[in-house]
Amino acid sequence: MSDSFVLYRYHPSYAAAVVFVIGFLLSGLGHIFHRNIRNKPTERSVSLAAPWERVMVVLYAVSALIMVRSIYRVAEYIQGSSGSLQGHEVFIYVFDATLMLVGCLVLNVFHSSQALREKGVYQSEMA
């Protein structure tokens, strides 16, 4: 095997690892923002009627689901096509499809515009 073939084989795992690292950094920034705004709230955050902390918790939960999926993808690509993760469909359903379905459902049920609409901050043209 040539060196270029080996690099090509592991290339998708690098991309999944980058997605994991970026997601981890963005979640960390969100946590720093959340902690700072709770410790020293601004006038706007205090007067805002919308439950912004609920939106932050939903974002944390969905980010965690995406990070678990990224870890699964890295492990799947490292094992290759002959590995046990790609060899059994149950892992794809559990760690890929189910996690993304739950993430989409959570974002639809707790959509931020619904929280803003409940408090009269956001008015939809369709409502």
**Could you tell me the pTM of the whole model?**
0.71
**What does the alpha-carbon distance between residue 95 and residue 100 come to, in Å, rounded to a whole number?**
8
| pLDDT tens sequence for the chain (127 residues) | 555 555 555 566 677 778 778 888 988 998 999 899 889 988 877 777 667 788 888 989 998 998 888 888 888 878 877 888 877 888 888 888 999 999 999 998 887 776 666 566 556 555 5
